[in-house]
Structure 1
Amino acid sequence: MAVKIHPTSDVSSEAVIGDGTAIWLFCQIRPGAHIGKNCNLGKGVYIDNDVHIGDHVKLQNNVSVYHGVTLEDGVFAGPHVCFTNDMRPRAVNPDLSVKSTDDWVVTKTLVKKGAGLGANSTIRCGVTIGEWAMVGSGSVVTRDVPDHALVYGNPARLHGFVCACGEKLKKGEIKGKMMAAECPACHSIVDIPLDLWEKIK
């Protein structure tokens, strides 16, 4: 399948774009970016140098993905989701000289397979968001998010666990150190560590 790039978008010839990916209005894709197959990038999406994005990723309008961020297959980011990459951001050095690329250290961020990030959420650099996790709209994620976790707030806190289909999981049978949580929609069983289940607010 052909790649679709809107004529208003600026896509570097040094970026790799997978088959079937659509890049809509006013996007900017920097050199070294790698975007997988069948992705959909909405209006105004920014992809920085050397960012790696897997297959079947959907980034809605005005998402910013900065250098040091990796999005695995099937990640969803709602409108205006913003990633960061500098733990100590400054425009200048202590002597007021302008910072260069040699004056700071990139802090990496990983969003794993199938995770969903709600509109206007901010992801602090250095965290890992687990597989099929869900981040509520407007949240500020400052720590790692477990697989299947539902987090929201500022700072984002654990409020439950969700199925891959998106439904909130219900308490199930306890098997040793695991909770066999059940999805009320598709009836899947998801094993959740009991110690994490007990932290639900």
Structure 2
Amino acid sequence: MITSKNYAMVRIHPSSEVKSETIGDESVIWQYCVVLPGARIGKNCNINCHVLIENDVIIGDNVTIKPGVQLWDGMRIGDNVFIGPNVTFINDNTPRSKYHDFEIRASHIMSGASIGANATILGGLTVGEYAMVGAGSVLTHDAPSFSLWKGNPARQCGFVTRDAMVLNMRLMDKNGAAYQLVDGEPVLQG
């Protein structure tokens, strides 16, 4: 890996085409990535191989994007987000070949959220803070903060704590400990 252009403390593999001038320190961009000029990438991000990032994309700090992900114009990714391999984002819900006058319906992935491998996120949705979308799921509705979604179409099947403890729909963990929602966040009952 090398440092390219005028980037301080950014590692960019020489096989990648990175045109953006706005990449935070300690970020790494691996092989065969394309990052267009208007994209903004935060600090300490890990952009794995074969990732495309279009112009109007903002990525927060400490984000991991696994291989095979495309981030289309309008996407907003918060801090500490995990996007698994081959996650598909859609920003045009009614695509047609050679039709360029469509309404961009970008998704917003809020801080702390995780999206599992091969999940599909329809355009215009929000994945809330610390929410989790399971591998292979097709998300067709907003996922509220701290919620767990799985399936096709994805349905809420539980909750997730800030530190990734999975809870069932009754807000209980696998050991039977009970949680309660405090301002939308699961908190262990005391």
TM-score band, normalised by the shorter chain?
0.7 to 0.9
1:22 matched residue in structure 2: 28
C-alpha RMSD over aligned residues? 2.4
Q: Secondary structure at the match of 1:161?
A: strand
One-letter code of the match for 2:50? G
Quote the sequence identity (%).
Answer: 42
Distance 1:37 1:29 in 2: 15
Contact 2:72–2:106 (CA<8 Å) still a contact in 1? no
| TM-score w.r.t. length of structure 2 | 0.85
Cα offsets for 1:119-157 (capped at 9, x unmatched)? 000110111100000000001111100111100111110
Over 3 Å counting, the alpha-carbon distance change for 1:67 and 1:158 in structure 2 is same
* Shift in Å, 1:99: 2.6
| TM-score w.r.t. length of structure 1 | 0.81
Over 3 Å counting, the alpha-carbon distance change for 1:40 and 1:147 in structure 2 is same
Structure 1: give runs of 5+ residues left out of the alignment: 92-97, 173-180
Task: Spell out the pairing of 1:28-177 with structure 2 (5 A cutoff).
Answer: 28-91=34-97, 98-100=98-100, 103-169=101-167
Distance 1:108 1:171 in 2: 29
Aligned length, in residue pairs: 177
* Shift in Å, 1:16: 1.0
Cα offsets for 1:15-60 (capped at 9, x unmatched)? 4110100000001101200000000011111111110000000001
Distance 1:115 1:170 in 2: 18
Contact 1:71–1:111 (CA<8 Å) still a contact in 2? yes
Contact 2:77–2:109 (CA<8 Å) still a contact in 1? yes
Cα offsets for 1:130-189 (capped at 9, x unmatched)? 0000000001111100111100111110000011111113678xxxxxxxx56679x896
Q: Which structure has the larger Rg?
A: 1
Contact 2:81–2:109 (CA<8 Å) still a contact in 1? yes
